[in-house]
Structure 1
Amino acid sequence: MKTRPSPLLPRSLVLSALLTLPLPVLADQAFTDCLDRLRTEAVQHGVAQSTFDAHAAGLEPDMAVLGFLDAQPEFVTPIWDYIAALVDDERIADGRAMLEQWGEVLQRVEAVYGVDPATVVAVWGVESNFGRNFGSRPLLTSLSTLSCFGRRQSFFKGEFFTTLKIIQEGHVAPERLTGSWAGAFGHTQFMPSTFMRLAVDFDRDGRRDLVDSVPDALASTANFLRRAGWRTEERWGFEVALPAGFDAGLAGRRSKRPARDWVKYGLTRIDGSPLPEDTPVSGLLLPAGKEGPAFLVGRNFDALYGYNAAESYALAIAHLSDRLRGGGAFAAPWPTDDAGLSRAERRELQRLLLDRGHDIGEVDGMIGSRTREALKLELEALGLKSDGRAGQAALRALREAGPGPR
């Protein structure tokens, strides 16, 4: 008598069995299956199977990176907090020191690419704090995870394959390829595909290395900006004053007009003087609405925007570059009664929270979830409403409360 094959299990039983598995187990299996598919695709993108097997075969997913897809600080942080942390006294002093230390290299970079030293150093300062913070996430782990889960998988697959090619071509050692959750790496935080297109070997050692070669990183940044449309000797823009009753509908970085039009609409320099005669065709940027600082911005601002597609980011770079040249802070105040904190003030706030018994981890000036939660609890204990935002009002309240656990 022949043995009859067992009938297929009902789908409901299969689903029930799967649902009993822990989520990490399901994710690990899905990731393993995805890596198998990526191995086949990688060859079609110029990655040798031996390279893939040596550097990607044993990867494990980092599911934490998925939470960053919709939480980039340029888009969720109030502009006054964003600028206060990125353009503070520390970064200005450090940037001026870098201008002096790397002056000879920066002069050569400017001669080749036409981008001034202050702008290049400003990008360096904002992107990695002058090489102090590259990011700690292994690129291959982050990019393989993002290639298999979440949205934009196709984009991240391309970055994953390109990272393997960077290793394959010997530009950067795999253990040195750590960076942001999205895969940006090095002194000036290039994405892998940007590295392949625009990184240069400025120190002429045979490798394009944005991790261990400052000259390569600075020159590659200038090359990026030049290719993005940077115009030598043209300013990025400047702060302006708006007339009473100004129509904010005229604003917009892309809505560029000649200076004579802006004069007709009543715009002046922030000090009330006429717009400069050499003002290029510009758009009006109102990062906090017409009640806050206003700026006329030209093509060079657009080039900065191209580095990281957020107007707040481009404004931080532009403002820091002005401060490095000796310029002052914005004249018009932000439309808030609770201004942002510098990094020194953020560290002070964290120390006060530690003194009051909160476990927030390292005092680093980075306002993460543990700092926000501790701040919310502490301020509520003081009888104040709080959403966990670290501003001047919160710092002032902690100072007045005094040190020591409650």
Structure 2
Amino acid sequence: MRTKLMNRNRLASLTAAAAMTLAVPAAALAQAACGNNGNGFDQWLAGFKQQAIAQGVSARTVAAALNGISYAPDIVGTDRGQKVFGQSFFQFSDRMVANYRIQQGRALIQKNQALFDHIEQQYGVPGAVLVAFWGLETDFGAFMGDKPSLRSIASLAWDCRRADVFRTQLMSALKIIDRGDLTPQTMRGPWAGELGQFQFLPDHYWNYGVDFDGDGRVDLIRSTPDALASAANYIKALGWRRGQPWLEEVRVPSNLPWEQTDLATKLPRSQWARFGVTRANGAPLPADNLPASVLLPMGRLGPAFLAYPNFDVFTEWNNSLTYATSAAYLATRVDGAPAYNRGQGKAIPVLSQAQVVELQRLLNARGHHVGRVDGIAGAATRQAVRVEQQRLGLPADSYPTPELLSALKAGR
């Protein structure tokens, strides 16, 4: 995807695991110097080359990949200035779940039915889910980025903000080249160094890439079978449950216990049915024990969904709730579902990114821990919002509103 929606949140989730990926040499890398500009970059890179050789990457590959690499301040600046996830679900999904993506996704499945069937048989992931990610990430392989990936990754590996994460990615990129899958010249992508038709981080490319076309190489850039099967392999590893749904639009009653509407709250469908939740067309929900959460991306006045355990895979792929919900919704549309009911639509208030920053600061001041104060209402912010809504006697639907912001600013 041209604006690269995946990397910010997926990379953030890898920070804690970066050192384990590199085993013992990671400790040395983690302790190595970093910088907020290009000063010292060449000296650090020389040390990294030795680390790569010590891990078994050939000296020839290291030289071909890293000799002559220069620091890219524009890449580092872009990494620090991402704002796309400040958009609301309406704003983001209206733009990204476009009719052409729905139609093209369906057409690609129909055209390559045998391939999609083979992948689903092996990995359990349906074609609609694969083409949803494929469409959002790169418009089905049309826009994979054209920046030199190694320069981007190396620059971010030197920058202090996420050095450990990107040093893991740089090491994996070298291993991919050393295995013969790609060359330094073909390793091109968006600004943060993701690769291929599904914008895999190099570490995911290395660990989950599949040679599905049998040509002896894992080529996620030029081989669609490799790209699709690798995405399915990764999704399976994230916990996909074969044959189960992921997202379903529903109707919710006005007296629903709103404090239960949180992704962390999973209740049997039979319980949601007792609360008065129905399918979107008014039909009753199955009275079974399949666990689900009620997801209200725009609060109680907007669309409502049941998010099943497979929805967790979407939030693992990208932990932005806006992205995850849009991707899951796109998959349902490709699978034949109608457009969702917008509820009160334009009447639903939307806080600006600056207002969300202010809200996050007020929440932190009250003892909550919303994570990075960035104007993005992620899971931690929404959980804190719910707690404050309950305390103030407001409908606790976890959706940040001007009413809540005003109450906190007034010291209530």
**Shift in alpha-carbon separation, 1:278–1:247, aligned structure 2, 3 A:** closer
Partner secondary structure for residue 264 of structure 2: strand
Range that drifts further, 68-77 or 286-295: 68-77
Deviation at 1:72, TM superposition (A): 4.4
- Residue type at the aligned position of 2:253: P
Find the aligned partners of 1:68 and 1:338 in 2 and give their Cα distance: 31
Whole-angstrom CA distance in 1 between matches of 2:169 and 2:144: 17
1:328 aligns with 2:338: yes
Percent identity for Structure 1 against Structure 2: 34
Q: Which residues of 2 match residues 4-403 of structure 1 at below 5 A? A: 27-72=37-82, 75-277=85-287, 280-333=290-343, 335-336=345-346
Using the TM superposition, give the Cα deviation of residue 195 of structure 1 relative to its aligned residue in structure 2, in angstroms: 1.1
CA 1:131–1:159 in 2, change beyond 3 Å: closer, same or farther? same
TM-score normalised per structure 1: 0.73
Detail structure 1 runs of 4+ shifted over 6 Å in the superposition: none
State the 1:243 CA deviation. 1.6
* Aligned residues of 1:240 and 1:296 also touching (Cα < 8 A): yes
The DSSP-based 3-state class of the residue aligned with 1:239 is strand
Residue 73 of structure 1 deviates from its aligned partner by 5.3
Distance of 1:241 and 1:69 partners within structure 2: 39
Deviations 1:177-221 (A, max 9, x none): 112222211011111111111111111111111001000011111
Q: Structure 1 regions of 5+ residues with no counterpart?
A: 1-25, 341-406
CA-CA distance at 1:333 after TM superposition: 3.7
Deviations 1:50-87 (A, max 9, x none): 32222112111222222343554562222112111211
Task: Give the paired residue count.
Answer: 316
Would the aligned equivalents of 1:301 and 1:318 in 2 still touch at CA under 8 Å?
Answer: yes
Render the CA deviation track for 1:329-383: whole Å, top value 9, x for unaligned: 111346435999xxxxxxxxxxxxxxxxxxxxxxxxxxxxxxxxxxxxxxxxxxx
> In structure 2, how many angstroms separate the alpha carbons of the residues matched to 1:316 and 1:200?
26
The separation in 1 between residues aligned to 2:83 and 2:133, in whole angstroms, is 16
Give the CA deviation at 1:165: 0.9
CA contact (8 A) 1:137 1:181 kept: yes
CA distance in 1 between partners of 2:309 and 2:348 (Å)? 33
Partner of 1:299, secondary structure, is coil
Mapped partners of 1:251, 1:72: distance in 2: 29
Q: 1:168 to 1:292 in 2, by over 3 A?
A: same
Higher relative CO (Cα under 8 Å, sequence separation at least 6) belongs to 2
Q: Relative to structure 1, is the Cα distance of residues 280 and 71 closer, same or farther in structure 2, using a 3 angstrom cutoff?
A: farther
Q: RMSD of aligned C-alpha atoms? A: 2.3
Larger Rg: 1
Q: In structure 2, do the counterparts of structure 1 residues 56 and 104 end up closer, same or farther at CA, with 3 Å as the change threshold?
A: same
Q: Which runs of 5+ in 2 are unaligned?
A: 1-35, 351-412
Query: Which residue does the alignment assign to 2:407?
Result: none
Matched residue SS, 2:62: helix
Partner of 2:11: none
Q: Which secondary structure state, in structure 1, belongs to the residue aligned with residue 167 of structure 2? A: helix
The answer to whether the 8 A contact 2:302-2:348 is kept is no
Deviates more, 1:30-39 or 1:197-206: 30-39
